[in-house]
Amino acid sequence: MSRGIAKVFRRKFGRVHELRQSNPEVGEVLQVTEEGTNRKIFCLVTKKASYQKPNYEDVWNPLCLLREVLLAEDLR
């Protein structure tokens, strides 16, 4: 997580070490609750390395999973 949107995520929210420790696989949705607030941050894993290009399925699957998580937790 050192390039592109991941770099912005690290600068703005930090806590990247928590995401890396979970050993994410492509297609997963990672969730972090911001300290001091009830705000939740979701990170969709669409590729293994920053230099790769995600394919349609690698983007579609985490989006569908994110939808299920949002509906289950009644988040908007």
Looking up tokens 């990170």 gives 43
Average pLDDT score over the chain: 85
Summarize pLDDT for 23-51 with one digit per residue, the tens: 888 999 988 887 788 888 888 888 888 78
Full residue range of the structural domain in which residue 12 is found: 4-72
Distances (CA, A) of 9 to 12, 49, 72, 73: 5, 16, 25, 23
Phi, psi of 16 (to 5 degrees): -65, -30
User: What is the amino acid identity at position 60?
Assistant: W
pTM of the predicted model as reported, rounded to 2 decimal places: 0.76
- Report the CATH number at residue 17: 3.40.220.10
For the chain, what is the domain count?
Answer: 1
Cα–Cα distance measured from residue 56 to residue 14, given in angstroms and rounded to the nearest whole number: 28
Strand partners, 73: none
